[in-house]
């Protein structure tokens, strides 16, 4: 099992370390030709979605990644990764992957409360320590998308078939359960 990690910007190395510690090898996706390698899952890390979209467009990776996701590649987006996956954004209109039936709101917790930790209830896993950094939330889900976690009345994790998205950063904690959940998605794909 091998996961491809989008390594253009943001918190990508933490995802790699966590997956490696769980016995999953990783490949770094930094340019279009890296997408020719074989990998069984895709991780889109947190960071700054506007920068990531700009780089993905300049590097000619956006459309290729979109096709891989639409063809069923198990995909895990955290925070900015969630924003890239969202078909709709309440407060931004830039192009992105737009593969997942969710509506996201960027920087949804305001500037004052930029970063915080909280316990969220993750379906099937119980309480999970969640780190939010200038996080979005999911304002709505539709189609096949199922809600996996809510915090403060807002959706903060969801899954639509092969796509998993969290508004928070599980790779910045010691708790590996959400990465294990994603590995199961890769194994069952
Ligand atoms: N606020 C960032 C954005 O809009 C996301 C923050 C994060 O990924 N931690 O891209």
Residue 165: CB atoms within 10 A of its CB come to: 30
Tell me the pTM.
Answer: 0.97
The per-residue pLDDT for 110 is 78
pLDDT over 90 (residue 175): yes
Using one digit for the tens of pLDDT, what is the confidence trace for 48-82?
999 999 999 999 999 999 999 999 999 999 999 99
For ligand 1, the distance from its centroid to the CA atom of residue 144, given in whole angstroms, is: 25
Of 127, 77, 134, 116, nearest to 100 (Cα)?
77
- The model's confidence at residue 114, banded by pLDDT at 50, 70 and 90, is confident
Q: Which residues contact 163 (CB under 8 A, 6 or more apart)?
A: 69, 74, 75, 77, 85, 99, 100
The whole-number pLDDT of residue 92 equals 83
Q: pLDDT value at position 93?
A: 78
Residue whose pair of structure tokens reads 């198990």 in the numeric block: 74
Taking the centre of ligand 1 as the mean of its atom positions, its distance from the CA of residue 89, in whole angstroms, is: 13
Q: Within 10 Å of residue 170's Cβ, how many Cβ atoms? A: 26
What is the predicted pLDDT for the residue at 112? 60
Please state, for a pLDDT cut of 90, what percent of the chain lies above it: 92
Instruction: Give the pLDDT confidence of 4-29 residue by residue, as tens digits.
Output: 999 999 999 999 999 999 999 999 99
pLDDT surpasses 90 at 184: yes
- Predicted pLDDT of residue 75: 99
pLDDT for residue 81 = 98
Whole-number CA gyration radius for the chain = 15
Q: Whose CA is nearest to atom 2 of ligand 1?
A: 48
Q: Which atom of ligand 1 is nearest to the CA of 107?
A: 1
What tokens appear for 100 in the block? 């997942």
Catalytic residues: 79, 169, 171
pLDDT band at 113 (very low <50, low <70, confident <90, very high): low
pLDDT, average across residues 132-157: 97
Residues with CB under 6 A from ligand 1: 46-49, 79-80, 83, 106-107, 133-134
Q: Taking 90 as the threshold, does the pLDDT of residue 94 lie above it? A: no
Mean pLDDT of the chain: 96
């Amino acid at each position: 099992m091998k996961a491809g990690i989008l390594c253009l910007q943001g918190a990508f190395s933490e995802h790699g370390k966590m997956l490696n510690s769980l016995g999953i090898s990783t490949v770094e996706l930094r340019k279009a030709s890296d997408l020719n390698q074989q990998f069984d899952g895709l991780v889109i890390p947190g960071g700054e979605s506007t920068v990531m979209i700009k780089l993905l467009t300049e590097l000619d990776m956006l459309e290729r990644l979109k096709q891989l996701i639409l063809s069923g590649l198990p995909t895990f987006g955290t925070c900015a990764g969630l924003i890239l996956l969202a078909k709709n954004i309440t407060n931004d209109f830039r192009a992105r992957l737009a593969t997942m039936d969710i509506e996201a709101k960027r920087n949804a917790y305001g500037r004052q409360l930029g970063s915080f930790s909280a316990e969220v209830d993750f379906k099937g896993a119980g309480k999970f320590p969640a780190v939010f950094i200038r996080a979005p939330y999911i304002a709505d889900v539709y189609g096949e998308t199922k809600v996996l976690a809510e915090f403060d009345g807002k959706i903060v994790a969801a899954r639509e078939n092969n796509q998993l998205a969290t508004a928070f950063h599980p790779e910045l904690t010691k708790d590996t359960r959400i990465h294990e959940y994603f590995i199961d998605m890769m194994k069952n794909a």
